[in-house]
Amino acid sequence: MRQLLTAALLATSMLSLPTVAHAQAMTAEEAAQLRAELAALKAQVQTLETRLDAATMQPAPAPAPTPATPSVTAKPATEISWKGAPEFKTADGWTFKPRGRMQFDMASVDAPGGVLGTHGGLTTEIRRVFLGFDGKIPGGFSYRVEADFAGGGAELTDVYLTYGQGPLSVTVGHIRHFTSLEDVTSDLFTSFTERAAFVPAFGFERRVGLGVQYKGKQLLAQAGVFGDNANDLLNDANNSISADGRVVWMPKFGETQLHLGGSAHIRDFNDQSPTARYRARPFAHTTDVRLIDTGNIDATGERGYGLEAAVISGPFHAAGEGFWQTMKRPGFTDPTFFGGYAEIGMAVTPGDSRSYKDGAFDRLKPSRSIADGGIGAIEINARYDHLDLNDAGIVGGRQKAALIGLVWAPIDYVRITANYGKLWIYEARIPTADGDRSYKADTFGLRTQLDF
């Protein structure tokens, strides 16, 4: 580098020297001038070499910092998971999940001539179409809003707000008023297309109120104060109020889940001309006919209590309940009506079993769904059902039923239920064409459902 620089300077200087035509001899004055220029050139070269040495000794400047690359494992602000439908969850505890169900029924009732008229035969029905959402709010709150659109309009089902960060919680809204095992088990997971006859007969339904719950590992205790269901409360004359409670002991011994419980209910109608009516369909919602029916009876209130028991052990399960409902009739003997059932069932596909959660039966989950190359979960159930609406001079009738059913869950969220029932009716509300009030009937139900 230095040699190239010196040569370049010498060449420049030589070009600037005076030229002598035809290589004439250099005079003493020209020689002196050349020596002076060479000396100046040497000084310039020395100066440049010094500056070059100083420049090469300086450290190289540090590279400019590059922006930090975000970690690929960092969690996004909102997580999305899938539980039959998308569930959104934020880092600070908010969650939101749409929910719903669709149930399509086909059913038939066959009874002696003159009983059903045009209300029998094979018919179809959109049984339920629930749409809504639920989620959690930071601070220990949770909520649900849901409505049934099957009837062509919107009818509120679960609509509530819950607060609780431990075993204790408080719920306000439109909820089930802590009734029986059969009633609090979701209609998505019942053994048959319709619940036990005493559930609709005694008017178990969602009501507006406030409930308190303690849920431990083996004990569930619930109590609350309620008005009426949301639709009936639209009537200004409806001032009914009830106090309801339920206690369940639910220990687990190895793989065996035990359930023992009871409930109590007191209700005051608080109306100027109150009446009560107990009745039940013949295990088919597609008909409006009730074969047993007390009709409207003057009453000021009602009280009831129930006992319930169940066990799940491997593929086997059994359950039974009894419920006693008493009318309060000042000036008359208070009649007490009874309903109950006994059931056994078994999952016949290997590795499958009915599940249980928070004091109620839960989803039948296939260990190998059809999406995994299996056949899904298959369960067979049998039940004896009894409802007696006769007492203290009131003759509403008695209904006994033997039911057998088949449940197929090809995947977690799709379920097909089929059942057949043989009914024995005594002191029926509707007689046969021959005037007989004791007779037999047959019922069949088929349901296809999807939930998310």
- Please report whether residue 72 resides in a domain: no
- Please report whether residue 262 resides in a domain: yes
Residue 280 belongs to what domain range?
84-451
- Please report whether residue 70 resides in a domain: no
- Please report whether residue 147 resides in a domain: yes
Does the structure show a pLDDT above 90 at 449? yes
pLDDT-above-70 percentage for the chain:
87
- Please report whether residue 125 resides in a domain: yes
Q: Please provide the average confidence, as pLDDT, over all residues in the chain.
A: 90
Does the structure show a pLDDT above 60 at 68? no
- Please report whether residue 73 resides in a domain: no
- Please report whether residue 299 resides in a domain: yes
pTM: 0.82
The domain that holds 121 is classified in CATH as 2.40.160.10
Indicate the number of domains in the chain. Answer: 1
Residue with more model confidence, 310 or 40: 310
In contact, 294 and 398? CB cutoff 8 Å = no
- Please report whether residue 7 resides in a domain: no
pLDDT in tens, 258-300: 999 999 999 999 987 799 999 999 999 999 999 999 999 999 9
141 pLDDT band, cuts 50/70/90, is very high
Q: What average pLDDT does this structure show over 63-72?
A: 57
